[in-house]
Amino acid sequence: MILIWRGWGILTLPIIVVTWLVIGGGLAVLARKMGLPQLEPVGAAIGCLAAAAAIWWSGKRLNGRPPRELIDARTGERVLLHRRHEMFFVPMQYWAILPLLGIVVVLLPLFTQAGGLSKN
């Protein structure tokens, strides 16, 4: 069996989805109600940024805990037990790059429509 997560690494996906939907969706709805539909992608980008911050913080907090020290009863040898929180063999905090890439995907059409990155 192939494990795709270890420890609390599975929290990466719900953090991305919930944070992006709550913050990004809420800001997009707010922009629409204010009559500024062109700012909806900015709300999604802020949601992505919040998701990246939440993943980085929780990953650093979970993976930064000190190891447990155990003593083997038979040999008397000291063993350090490190608890790791990973998703697809990558530590949880490094998955923060995924929502940051989402910011680029969300905001890129804004720049190309405004002529900021186009060759015209």
Q: What is the pLDDT of residues 15-48, one digit of tens each?
A: 988 988 898 889 888 988 988 887 788 888 888 8
Token pair, residue 39, equals: 């700012």
Tokens of 61: 């907090």
In 10 A of CB 31, how many CB atoms?
18
Banded model confidence at residue 2, pLDDT cuts 50, 70, 90: low
Residue 118 pLDDT class (50, 70, 90 cuts): very low
* Segments making up each domain of the chain, as ranges: 11-84+100-114
pLDDT of residue 107: 76
Q: Which residues of 81-104 are buried (b: 16+ CB within 10 A; e: fewer)?
A: eeeebbbeeebbbebbebbbebbe
CA distance to 59, 65, 112, per residue, from 79 (Å): 24, 16, 56
At 74-95, the pLDDT tens digits run: 998 999 888 888 888 889 999 8
